[in-house]
Structure 1
Amino acid sequence: MIEVNGLTKRYGGTTAVDDLTFTVRPGRVTGFLGPNGAGKSTTLRMILGLNAPTGGSVTVDGQPFRGRPRGLRHVGALLDAADVHGGRSAAAHLAVLARSNAIPRERVAQVLREVGLAEAGRRRIAGFSLGMKQRLGIAGALLGDPPVLLFDEPLNGLDPEGVRWVRGLFRQLAGEGRTVLVSSHMMREMENTADHLVVIGRGALIADQSLAEFAGRGARPSVTVRTPEPDALTALLTAQGAAVRPDGEGALAVTGLTGPRIAELAFERRLLLTELTPRGLSLERAFMELTADHADHLAGDPR
């Protein structure tokens, strides 16, 4: 497990991480979410011992990670896919990591095949796309076959096939009983991948709960409706206790009534419906609502 207890990091008068406490457990994918500047990357760096906390503590399997002499055998991490020596080949980069962590050399070829870079192993990293660098970073994280894995924005630059592959990889690693912590801004992918969420804002904990529980804290499920007579339908549904608001491009978002009930009411009044689409609980909607007061940069914010 990763155990974070009262973790705090200050830079002068700025508090980047504020008394943060949470546990990342094995056997599930934990999404680590928060607006820009929330303190996610700083927290990940403190887990790995790259930044020293101002207060509190963080342990991996009961002890600070910095105290482990062969770190890649215990924790694999991808923090910045671009933070590699461009003059080296992919195989040479991984070989250095393997040697410094007493990992058998044959693991280099194995992980290159696993991430889809077997044919690019001898190429210089400077010629890699961002997506290829992400794959190489994931290969480095897997190199020591560790029980704990950390990924910071691992989907950036990946094409749709790469995104699908990473999603399956994370589920596989968790299914093997490993501890998997993924920081990402891609809510749709987190919705399809994560089992549990740790959400922070301005360095403080906002939520530590299952994906379903967090999504349920946001707006109620709604129904998207389109009709040639929006005013008449709005009046009808409002009279039945529903809340109706414009939802872009002529659509209406209705909460408080189910899709079948909306269809029944419209039929009784002979109102044509051209769309009736239920919208379930959404991670993105819940995230935007629950972190709005914790974001430092909001487009259109009058401040």
Structure 2
Amino acid sequence: MIEVDELTKRYGPTTAVKGLTFTVRPGRVTGFLGPNGAGKSTTLRLMLGLHTPTGGTVTVDGRPFRDRPRGLRHVGALLDAAEVHPGRSAAAHLAALARSNRIPRSRVTEVIEEVGLAAAARRRIGAYSLGMRQRLGIAGALLGDPPVLLFDEPLNGLDPEGVRWVRGLFGELAAQGRTVLVSSHLMSEMEHTADDLVVIGRGELIAAESLSAFAARGGGGGVTVRTDEGERLAALLTADGATVRAEGGLLTVTGTDAGRVAELALDHRILLGELTTRTASLEDAFMRLTADRVEYTAGENR
């Protein structure tokens, strides 16, 4: 579990993180979202003790990460896939990490095979593609078999097969009871991957809740109905507590579900030509709730 309490980080006059408070729970994949410049990377570095907070605290399983003498056994992290020596091989890089954290050498072979780099384990990292470096970074995070894992933009450079593999990996890790925090700007992937979301903007907390609850804020959910008796059905739905908007021959209904719409139509012998449930959009909710927290906006004259 990761617990963040009133976490603040200032760099001179600039406040990168301001009073963040949230909890990342085990057994779930938590997406960490925010516009560019929101403070996501700074927050991850504060979690790992790479930066010192100006105020507040962040603990991993009840202790600051800096208090862990063999860190990789407690927290695995991928922050930047490029931060490796290009002249080393993947096997040598991971072996060095294993030695410094008293992790058995056999574990190096296991994680190399798990991330699909067995055939390239002896090649120099400088010759790796970005996708291969991402796989190596994930191997490093998994090396100590830790209960807590942090990933910053882990899907960059991965091909479709790699994206599907990573998506499944995160789900497996959470199913094992681990705490998994994934920072990403890819809304579509978060919809497929995350159970919960923490969303920040300009260093401040916007939301910390389930993905479904956050997506519902976008206003994109509801039911679409087509019928020749739209006015009559709209009156029945409104009396039942729903909100109805008529556009042409369609009714857009919120505040109820498709089952209740069908039930009312059947009870009053109203023939339906179409009844469709519309899914709330994570992207719509994100854009709506972070609109005033975006540091750089395309198309604006400043």
Question: What TM-score do you get using the length of structure 1 for normalisation?
Answer: 0.84
Contact 1:222/1:253 (<8 A) preserved:
no
State the alpha-carbon separation in 2 of the partners of residues 46 and 243 from structure 1: 50
2:299 matches 1:300: yes
Contact 2:220 2:281 in 1 (8 A): no
Give the match for residue 245 of structure 2: 242
Instruction: State, as a whole percentage, how many aligned pairs show the same letter.
Output: 73
| Cα distance in 2, alignment partners of residues 152 and 142 from structure 1 | 14
- How far residue 302 of structure 1 moved from its aligned partner, in angstroms, is 4.4
Change (3 A) 1:182 1:254: farther
**1:24–1:30 CA contact under 8 A, matched in 2:** yes
Which has the higher mean CA deviation after the structures are superposed, 191-200 or 275-284? 275-284
Say whether residues 1:212 and 2:238 are aligned partners: no
Contact 1:221–1:255, Cα closer than 8 Å, also in 2: no
Residues of 2 paired with 1:25 and 1:208: CA distance?
A: 11
Q: What CA deviation, in whole Å up to 9, does each residue of 1:51-74 have, x standing for no partner?
A: 111111111111110111100000
Please give the secondary structure, in 1, of the residue aligned with 2:15: strand
Question: CA 1:148–1:221 in 2, change beyond 3 Å: closer, same or farther?
Answer: same
User: Quick check: 2:220–2:284 contact (8 Å CA) kept in 1?
Assistant: no
TM-score by length of 2: 0.85
Tell me by how many angstroms 1:301 deviates: 3.0
| Structure-1 residue corresponding to 2:96 | 96
- The number of residues matched between the two structures is 285
1:284 aligned onto 2:283: yes
The DSSP-based 3-state class of the residue aligned with 2:23 is: strand
Q: What amino acid is aligned across from residue 54 of structure 2 in structure 1?
A: T
CA distance in 1, matches of 2:251, 2:293: 28
The runs of 5 or more residues in structure 2 that have no matched partner are 226-233, 239-243, 266-272
Q: How does 1:1-303 map to 2 (within 5 A)?
A: 1-221=1-221, 242=245, 255-256=252-253, 279-303=278-302
Alignment-mate amino acid for residue 280 of structure 1: T
**What displacement does 1:205 show?**
0.5
SS at match of 1:87: coil
Contact 2:224 2:252 in 1 (8 A): no
2:180 match: secondary structure: strand
Stretches of structure 1 that go unaligned for 5 or more consecutive residues are: 226-237, 246-251, 265-272
Distance in structure 1 (CA, Å) of the matches to 2:215 and 2:250: 18
Contact 1:220–1:255 (CA under 8 A) maintained in structure 2: no
